[in-house]
Structure 1
């Protein structure tokens, strides 16, 4: 009597999502990475707000009135330093999320169990994007609430209902998943932890530093960067048509840059491993 082999049914995408979710949280370092990154970013924002609160009386009455009238408090809701730290942390976490499997060899086991590589990578993208979005939302919301609560001690804080507040919070929250997906895409292409993290830092932070907005070509390249788009969305002093901005651009353009980086990184991640040996 000959035994008949029973073909295994293909893995459902929901199963792949569950598998990637378990992989992500199976390491204790994952939780601590998110907790530490949140504390550092919130700490930077709260520290800047407290410093402004502490030295409030150093400025004259006109400057204090201008601070309130111009909504400068929003710049303390998510500072440039905090944004830099978030980009660094999110890019590194995204890169390690995939290169960790290459370094341990687990990626071979994964692809042996599920030959549909694109499905596996798509699941990784979905899980990372979801977790990073939650992380970004919590960090941005806590930073906004804490910084404005500190400044409210001098009646200088703003509420989430004030013009521009929600935009700053949403843009800062989405900075995390966008940078995380960029890091993951680099990890999928380079497949080495250290190289991928360094490349993420270079793409997200170093390249924008060498670009300026005093030449048209440089301004266009700067506007196409993740950091440039984020700055356009959160800097309340930026007037798209005002003086001092040689090559202005719109908030719609900045949101488009965010979307293109996220979608492009996701596509690269899904396609990068399709025909490559592991």
Structure 2
């Protein structure tokens, strides 16, 4: 009598697109997500309209991009919301215990983090693009009434538009990475607010070391990229370079996600 050897069935590893699809379902299943995104976009665009309406000196040398199309108040709010929502995509799972189910179903924890980052970046790129384009169009519609508007082909407009559109996904992915590292909602939000919004105000551009630290932060890089004027070569301030600002945009999300993947592979949950 022949004895058949037992057949060992192995579950195929989850593909990355499956993980991304699962993360997208988690994101859009939250009822608060569309409301938060919608209100944030409306506030950002509304702040641009309000800034353009309040600018009595439009067309007389004022930097229309930094102060009218992309006012700091609106984009600081976008930074805060994007970073917070990015963090909540992961800390909410730690808080509810769902992360244990996720890691049990998909032992490749690094792939889960990367899938979350991909979905978060894609979603907030769309949000940032809508907010940035809406801000520009609304502010220029107001300024056109004073014959102070500029076309989208005006020098510096596309750079400011791209920088403002990418600000949201950069901050959202940074928030997600901090969420993986800290695993606590309040701690992650406070850390994100401090690093992305408060820390740049602690440094000036009058000293080289202070300017270098300031220029290495995301909000400072964004502010330089939306400026339509070139720095005064006779100024005593150390001004960030445009390529350096784009490098800051790239390094912050890459470094935080790389650290998150490294850490999540080494700890239990």
Aligned 8 A contact 1:73 1:151 in 2: no
Q: Distance in 2 between matches of 1:272 and 1:241?
A: 44
Tell me the CA shift for residue 264 of structure 1: 1.1
Residue of 34, 45, 50 corresponding to 1:47: 50
Aligned 8 A contact 1:240 1:250 in 2: no
Residue of 124, 146, 165 corresponding to 1:132: 124
Aligned 8 A contact 2:48 2:74 in 1: yes
Q: Deviations over 1:20-64 (max 9, x none)?
A: 110111111111111111111111111111222xxx4xxxxxxx5
Q: Distance in 1 between matches of 2:142 and 2:112?
A: 45
- Specify the alignment match of 2:9 in structure 1: 6
Aligned 8 A contact 2:221 2:240 in 1: no
Identify if the C-alpha distance between structure 1 residues 249 and 241 changes in structure 2 by more than 3 Å, giving closer, same or farther: farther
Q: Distance in 1 between matches of 2:62 and 2:250?
A: 27
For 2:145, what is the secondary structure of its paired residue? Answer: helix
For 1:17, what is the secondary structure of its paired residue? Answer: helix
Q: Deviations over 1:189-214 (max 9, x none)?
A: 11011110111001101111111111
The residue correspondences of 1:15-34 to structure 2 (distance < 5 A) are 15-34=18-37
- Specify the alignment match of 1:171 in structure 2: 163
Q: Distance in 2 between matches of 1:12 and 1:226?
A: 32
Residue of 72, 75, 82 corresponding to 2:63: 72
What count of residue pairs does the alignment treat as equivalent? 265
Identify if the C-alpha distance between structure 1 residues 45 and 260 changes in structure 2 by more than 3 Å, giving closer, same or farther: same
Tell me the CA shift for residue 269 of structure 1: 2.6
Residue of 153, 157, 160 corresponding to 1:161: 153
- Specify the alignment match of 1:243 in structure 2: 234
Q: Distance in 2 between matches of 1:176 and 1:245?
A: 32
Aligned 8 A contact 1:212 1:218 in 2: yes
The residue correspondences of 1:177-192 to structure 2 (distance < 5 A) are 177-192=169-184
Moved over 4 A (4+): none
Q: Distance in 2 between matches of 1:147 and 1:270?
A: 41
Q: Distance in 1 between matches of 2:231 and 2:258?
A: 31
- Specify the alignment match of 1:271 in structure 2: 262
Residue of 185, 197, 204 corresponding to 1:193: 185
Q: Which segment is superposed worse, 243-252 or 139-148? A: 243-252
Q: Distance in 2 between matches of 1:192 and 1:11?
A: 27
What's the Cα RMSD here? 1.6
For 2:203, what is the secondary structure of its paired residue? Answer: coil
Residue of 247, 255, 269 corresponding to 2:246: 255
Unpaired runs of 5+ in structure 1? 57-63
Q: Deviations over 1:177-228 (max 9, x none)?
A: 1111111111001101111011100110111111111111100100101011
- Specify the alignment match of 1:100 in structure 2: 92
Q: Distance in 1 between matches of 2:260 and 2:74?
A: 27
Q: Deviations over 1:141-162 (max 9, x none)?
A: 0110001101110011111111
- Specify the alignment match of 1:227 in structure 2: 219
